[in-house]
Amino acid sequence: MQKILIADDNKQITSILSEYAKNEGYEADITYDGLTALEHFKNGDYNIILLDVMMPGMDGFEVCREIRKTSNIPIIMVTARGEDFERIMGLDIGADDYIIKPFSPGEVMARIRAILRRMDTQENKSKNIFTYDNLKIDLDSFIVEVDGEPVSLTKKEIEILWTLASSKNKLFTRENLLNSLWGYDYFGDSRTVDSHIKRLRAKLEGYQHPAWEIKTVWGMGYKFEVNDEL
């Protein structure tokens, strides 16, 4: 049985989400503050975490940062406010998705299903390693190297880079990337793709890669463009 950690200081919300999770066939553990959530993560074997931003002891952003030091477990951030900076911060520190209160418990479960389906697909694949010029992507271990140096990327950024790079010079629209990496039942929009691409590029700028680049095709989408003449 797959396990979910639900961390939120609102007991009504955790009770409702826990019941929905159990009805979906998941085992759910509940915590009401950030420090306890981090302790549960360290001692538990979870498949996904629902993490509220505003919690006593340690907020959700700090909990997410600590988890990302050692794990790529899927994390959905939950926020009571819809400001762009909170969403961007959550994604930038490694969250896989975000959801804004008030929300439908059914929508939360749909997002959980979408993420866990993608995880199952990846785990069932044989070893996935992509190399081109000075770039190496190990999708099984979620490791990216340029010239043998590790690049610190989030799980979603690695998935985007893998999708683009493994189909060199192929154009992907924002909708293509949303559907393949977030799932058809994702409730976000194309700005999510743009934000991830922007952060991915910024992290890769610190490394020389004249033979390849993530190129924007204006009005259409993105592609991993290579220069085989170098």
- Tell me what pLDDT residue 229 has: 47
Q: How many whole angstroms separate alpha carbon 52 and alpha carbon 75?
A: 10
- Tell me what pLDDT residue 28 has: 95
- What's the one-letter identity of residue 149? E
User: pLDDT tens digit string along 104-162?
Assistant: 999 899 989 888 877 765 554 446 788 988 999 998 888 999 999 999 999 899 999 99
- Tell me what pLDDT residue 83 has: 65
Are 138 and 153 in contact, with CB atoms under 8 Å apart?
no
23 burial class (0-12, 13-18, 19+ CB within 10 angstroms)?
A: exposed
Are 150 and 108 in contact, with CB atoms under 8 Å apart?
no
Q: Which two tokens stand for residue 126?
A: 């044989």
Q: Whole-model pTM above 0.85?
A: no
pLDDT band at 82 (very low <50, low <70, confident <90, very high): low
> 136 has which bridge partners?
131, 145
Q: How many whole angstroms separate alpha carbon 115 and alpha carbon 79?
A: 19
Q: Which two tokens stand for residue 123?
A: 């785990």
Give me the domains of the chain, ranges plus CATH numbers.
3-123 (3.40.50.2300), 126-226 (1.10.10.10)
175: Cβ–Cβ under 8 A, 6 or more apart, which residues?
A: 190
Q: Which two tokens stand for residue 85?
A: 């900076």
DSSP 8-state secondary structure symbol assigned to residue 171: -
Instruction: Determine the average pLDDT of the residues in 63-70.
Output: 92
157: Cβ–Cβ under 8 A, 6 or more apart, which residues?
A: 196, 199, 200, 203
